[in-house]
Amino acid sequence: NAASLATVWVLSSTHVAQAFFEELFGGGGGGGMQFEMGGQQRRPPASEWPAGVSDEISRPMSWLKGTEWQWNNDEWALKLDKSGDLEAPIRQCQRDNCKWTAENGKLYIALGDAGVFKLDAPKERPQNMNGQKLNGASVRNSRERLSLKFQRVFDHDAADLDKDLYESLGLPDDADDASLKKAYRELSKKYHPDKNPDEASKVKFAEVRDAYEILSNPDKKILYDTGGME
């Protein structure tokens, strides 16, 4: 009868939609990320960060802030906002507030009820970001894999806010003015573009120059040391 046919059609449509999403996210037992559909199939909300992991993004890994990554070789993009928010065009991030944090060479991303994923990431900004990949898996199910490939920097100022200026000059946080001046002179000579035309040296030279510009100015230095420059 008509009611039975309607029931069969609904069940069939649900099965097709489920199969589509499993294929899209690498499901079906292939070890990829799986995102269930339907109210009764939803997983419980994601837990907190793993024990010992902080919400605070470590300063050396702040290079991840403001970066955009290709998601599992799909056309979708994942954005890591400087605030720790995460943008991704998936149901979990549209309904829930997806987050990310990073420390000790690990990137952690919380994808709502899909759980927390841990990926290996460089502890410092790579000299060449092109082709950079981050690979990892779900904290609660290692068979659910996730791969990110660098696409672009969408917020160029984001990482600079947390850059360790003393570290840029190779000095401790309590370095005095004389040490700052000495380090600046040595490093600016070492990485000067006239002697080192390569791109990495140009980047380092600019980093040293910018760090000294702030730390050599008493007013700016106080603001930086007290966290007031953000």
CB 125 within 8 Å of CB 207: no
Query: Would you give the distance in Å from CA 22 to the centre of its chain?
Result: 25
From the number of C-beta atoms within 10 Å of its C-beta (0-12, 13-18, 19+), residue 13 rates as exposed
Residue 123 to residues 120, 126, 215: CA-CA distances in angstroms? 9, 9, 24
pLDDT confidence bin for 34, thresholds 50/70/90: very low
Region 145-168 average pLDDT: 80
Q: What is the pLDDT of residues 185-194, one digit of tens each?
A: 999 999 888 8
pLDDT score for 228: 54
CA distance 193 to 81: 32
> Could you tell me which residue, 178 or 1, shows the higher pLDDT?
178
CA distance 75 to 154: 17
pLDDT score for 163: 67
Share of the chain above pLDDT 90, in %: 32
Region 136-153 average pLDDT: 93
From the number of C-beta atoms within 10 Å of its C-beta (0-12, 13-18, 19+), residue 86 rates as buried
pLDDT score for 224: 78
Mean pLDDT of the chain: 77
Q: Which two tokens stand for residue 17?
A: 């939609």
Region 15-23 average pLDDT: 40
CB 24 within 8 Å of CB 35: no
Name the residue among 82, 63, 21 with its Cα closest to residue 150: 63
pLDDT confidence bin for 95, thresholds 50/70/90: low
Region 32-41 average pLDDT: 41
Region 30-45 average pLDDT: 41
pLDDT score for 18: 43
Region 170-198 average pLDDT: 90
pLDDT at 3 over 50: no
Name the region of 66 (left: φ>0; alpha: ψ -120 to 50; beta: rest).
Answer: left
Name the residue among 116, 123, 146 with its Cα closest to residue 26: 146
State which H helix or E strand residue 11 sits in.
helix 2-24
pLDDT at 59 over 70: yes
